[in-house]
Amino acid sequence: MTSSHFLCHSPIFHPSPNIIENRSLSSFRSHGSSFFDSKSRNQRTPFVRLMVSARKQVEIVYNPDERINKLADEVDKEAAPVSRLTLFSPCKINVFLRITNKREDGFHDLASLFHVISLGDVIKFSLSPSKAQDRLSTNVPGVPLDDRNLIIKALNLYRKKTGSNNFFWIHLDKKVPTGAGLGGGSSNAATALWAANQFNGFLATEKELQEWSSEIGSDVPFFFSQGAAYCTGRGEVVQNIPPPLPLDLPMVLIKPQQACSTAEVYKRLQLDRTSKSDPVTLLEKISRNGISQDVCINDLEPPAFEVLPSLKRLKQRVLAASRGQYGAVFMSGSGSTIVGIGSPDPPQFVYDDDEYRDVFLSEANFLTREENNWYTEPASRSARGSSSQFSQSIE
């Protein structure tokens, strides 16, 4: 997290703690770093410097990391098990997704191979001395910071289940676009449950966290697998499996700015037009033979392509341009991310055509975790996208 700067002009300026306390992180961040000099650019601690000149110019440098660390120092004095924690919050893809039935409760039964991938957010948690509320900040505009956010929902759920009275300062460094079919919000919720359990001295088992997490969303329990799982029910029935594919198998993610409404996609789904392939057979084929176009079936593609016809055209163009570059090209979840498995590089037309100027692009590979350890952020990741891709966090 970088420090944030702004300049102001004032006859006399007396900074007080409330000046920084009451400004949102995003409002500081929006001023950028254009006023750094070479010395202050490398400054690691917050300071206020008064530069008295003819215009009485004042520079304030604010470092939110330092603020969170000071709060954690206060908690350290109370000998908490953990006072601060930084966790990677990876997203997922559906290697195949079969919709098998519509239930009486209005949900659909599915059968899918879920796999965690190396694209993800980073979430910083600090135990707050406050016993009243959590406080969430983020690096992108438009993300809800109240209990509409799945991170806050998860922390509320943990307190409800365990009786804990710990509250947190949280900073979400958002990298995963929303409305993408990648489960970024669900991963954030699972990561928050894991963090809360760390802070509270492991009041719950992993199995309990997984069971509780289904109250937040159908995709959340998956992230308590070891990274690869065969999921059924609404998605909340998670069967942990050995990774069926090489973890270093590269892929590229291409997501247009337009998102697909999950509700609208399911509304247009026609069960009599879905694939007849047995999902267990698909899993066996992938485990035995690897990735191929015929096993990467997604029953939500046809209705998603009705909702967003340009998405169908994007998939067709990627397939036509791949020339064997990708073992399979498919949509993840309910869209709107198109995944190309086999190469980290997008086809050239994505760079050349103005239509795709604002698409989100990222390379990735498969990712797993060890039991009793959370996912670890890869050493390097490459992603390109505009801030508007990340502006909604309700999934």
Q: Are 219 and 226 in contact (CB under 8 A)?
A: no
pLDDT band of residue 33 (cuts 50, 70, 90) is very low
Q: Which two tokens stand for residue 57?
A: 């110019």
Q: Which two tokens stand for residue 368?
A: 């797993």
Place of tokens 């694939």: 275
Q: Which two tokens stand for residue 159?
A: 């307190």
| DSSP type of residue 366 | B
- What confidence score (pLDDT) does residue 82 get? 78
Q: Give, for 349, the enclosing helix (H) or strand (E).
A: helix 349-352
Selection from 224, 190, 219 nearest residue 206 by Cα: 224
Plot region of 119 (φ>0 → left; ψ -120 to 50 → alpha; else → beta): beta
Q: Looking at the domain 68-365, which fold is it?
A: Ribosomal Protein S5; domain 2 (3.30.230)
Strand 135-138 and strand 167-173: the pairing is: parallel
What are the backbone dihedrals phi and psi of residue 216, each rounded to the nearest 5 degrees, phi first?
A: -90, -45
- What confidence score (pLDDT) does residue 14 get? 37
pLDDT band of residue 383 (cuts 50, 70, 90) is low
Strand 84-102 and strand 108-128: the pairing is: antiparallel
Q: Is 216 helix (H, G, I), strand (E, B) or coil?
A: coil
Q: What is the pLDDT of residues 319-375, one digit of tens each?
A: 999 888 999 999 999 999 999 999 999 999 999 999 999 999 999 999 999 999 999
Selection from 136, 163, 166 nearest residue 152 by Cα: 136
Q: Tell me which residues are annotated as active site.
A: 92, 219
Selection from 196, 178, 197, 198 nearest residue 186 by Cα: 178
Question: Is the full-model pTM beyond 0.95?
Answer: no
Q: What is the pLDDT of residues 125-182, one digit of tens each?
A: 999 988 899 999 999 988 999 999 999 999 999 999 999 999 999 999 999 998 999 9
CB within 8 Å of 28: residues ≥ 6 apart? 4, 5, 6, 62, 64
pLDDT higher than threshold 90 for residue 79: no
Q: In the predicted model, what is the mean pLDDT of the chain?
A: 83
Domain ranges for the chain = 68-365
Rounded average pLDDT over 201-224: 97
CB within 8 Å of 366: residues ≥ 6 apart? 115, 116, 117, 118, 227, 228, 243, 245, 246, 247, 248, 249
- What confidence score (pLDDT) does residue 382 get? 59
pLDDT higher than threshold 80 for residue 57: no
Q: Which of the two residues, 252 and 142, has the higher pLDDT score?
A: 252
Selection from 159, 171, 153, 227 nearest residue 199 by Cα: 159
